[in-house]
Amino acid sequence: MATDAFPIRVVGADAVSAALQAAPAKIRAAVRRAVEESAARVLSTAKAKVSDDVLHVKTGRLRRSLHYVLGGTDTAPSAAIGTNVEYAAIHEFGGQTKAHVIEALNAKVLAFEKGGVTVFATRVNHPGSRMPQRSFLRSALAQEASGIKQRIEAAVGGALPGR
């Protein structure tokens, strides 16, 4: 499964899908369970990554928003892992924020230090910020990749007759 925003392709997915079409229901069900378990593990790893000090957690909103959805078909199960938090992409891929105005909303003035001097202003022009890449989804998937393969292989092998 891949999207333009998250271009990861599974090599050999078409061959696996074709094999599953011919496989008995027991094997298809075992593979689907392996896909779900793999999604849960990638999700857990991603949540651990956004919980550390690298992202400077303030509210935990990003961590709480991470989820997975099972999809696909009986013969081609898939899982999508993601978030709907608007600032997740800039953490995952890095980038540049746009210049913008910051205005005092909950107080009469903004107060900040600049060059060792306290400055008071009702509004400031922020020039934008350069954000480094801090991958939590792609790196979680990469970290779990060998386990995903092992779970799917074990699901197929365990569901075969005589095993």
Give the global pTM.
Answer: 0.74
State both tokens at 56: 């400077």
Q: How many CB atoms lie within 10 A of CB 30?
A: 21
pLDDT (tens place) for every residue of the chain, 163 residues total: 455 566 666 677 777 777 667 668 888 899 999 999 999 999 999 999 998 766 778 899 999 999 999 999 988 899 999 999 999 999 999 999 999 999 998 999 999 999 999 999 999 999 999 999 999 999 999 999 999 999 999 998 876 665 5
- In 3D space, the residue among 111, 128, 127, 129 whose CA is nearest the CA of residue 119 turns out to be 111
What's the rounded Cα separation, in Å, for the pair 142 and 134? Answer: 14
What's the rounded Cα separation, in Å, for the pair 39 and 80? Answer: 8
Centroid of chain to Cα 76: 21
State both tokens at 152: 């799917």
